[in-house]
Structure formats: C-alpha cells, structure tokens
Amino acid sequence: MEKGNITFHHGKVNCCERYKILGQKGLVVWLTGLSASGKSTIAAETERRLIDLGRAVYRLDGDNIRFGLNSDLGFSEKDRFENIRRVAEVCALFKDAGLIVIASFISPLSSMRQMAREKAGDNFLEVYVKASVEVCAERDPKGLYERAFKGEIKDFTGVSAPYEEPEKPDIILDTEKYSQDKCVERLTREILGKSALKTVKA
C-alpha cells in the first residue's frame, strides 16, 4: 500500500511465527456496554485469570486510554469515532504480535464496533456486557448518571446520547442475571478456545 510519500514496509516475520513463539493465537476481545455495566471489572479479572494460566494478555480500558494516547479527544461523536479508531488500530497491532488484547470501551454505535472488527481481522470476539440504564444508574460508582439525568453532562450514553445494542454479538454477558465470577468464567473459557494455537494455519 502506498499513500503519498509513504510506503507500507513488509517485514520478514509473519503473525503465525509470533503465535508459535507465544503458544497462542493473537485475539481481540472487544467488550461493549453502558457505563457501569461491568466491562472494566470483568476485563480486569479475566486478564488476571489468563495471566495466571500463563497466557500473554494485555487490557485496554476506556477511561485509562484517555489519560495518554487519546488525552486530546473529547466526547463529541467525531472524537468518539477517533477514540475507537485509534484503539482498534492498537488492538490490531497487539493481535498481530500474538497477544490476547481485552478492550473495554462503551463504543455505543454499531459502526464503531464494526470498524474495530474489520481492523482486527479474523480473530475477534465482540462481547456485549448487558445491563439496563436503570441498573447501571443504581450501580454508578462515579455518580455520572445522576449528573447526566440533571443535564450536567451532555452526550452521556444511554441518557442523552444513543447506545445501539449489538444485534449479533459473539457473547452476551448479562450482569443483571449472572454474577461477576460466572461472567468471567465464561469469558475466560471462550478466550482460551478462540486463542488455542491448534487452530493456527501456517
């Protein structure tokens, strides 16, 4: 691919060679859901369990990434798209390196999640961490819903900005029906199966 004065430089190592060294396939696990649905908690605990099992994994959190890589972005629709675009690019690189990357981002629009899937390629899990606005507002560790209901926060997903529920996610983790442990157990099991090296084709 050539773009202006830059040309894509292909190296001498492919992803399958990296996968063999790590003993796993690279995988992007994309957690989407409302604020306070449980995404970050599930992602952190799943990362812990996978590390304990000897897997190479890294977690990207929606809030954390805005302290560094995306600190220049706001919360307009344009900035949110750019936020997800950058994260999706990073996830694709991590996957190519052979890592299991767990990304927990509200990513409210289906077009955002589709973009992330397309950039990641064939090894992608879309995980819908499901909980209603009412339940999320009750949990609300940051007090954001209360402020959003009062009109103090503009463009707040689920209140004054839309959240498009995934139509065909790979996994649904309903945190109203199932405990954190049950959700983490299921997600860990799915990740281990999806990242198993035996499915790699050289």
The domain segmentation of the chain, as residue ranges, is: 13-193
- In the numeric block, the tokens 């990073």 are attached to 90
**pLDDT for the residue 122:** 87
Mean pLDDT by 10 residues, the chain (202 residues): 72 92 97 96 98 98 92 90 96 97 96 96 95 95 90 92 95 97 98 82 47
For residues 108-147, b (16+ Cβ closer than 10 Å) or e, as one string? bbeebbebbbebbeebbbbbbbbbebebbbeeeeeebbee
Active site residues: 104
> What pLDDT was estimated at residue 8?
80
pTM: 0.91
Query: What pLDDT is recorded for position 202?
Result: 44
What is the fold, at CATH topology level, of the domain defined by 13-193? Answer: Rossmann fold (3.40.50)
* pLDDT for residue 200: 45
**Is the Cα dihedral 18, 22, 27, 31 positive or negative?**
negative
Output the CA torsion 190→196→201→202 (10° steps): 140
Alpha-carbon span 142 to 93, nearest angstrom = 32
Phi, psi of 27 (to 5 degrees): -150, 135
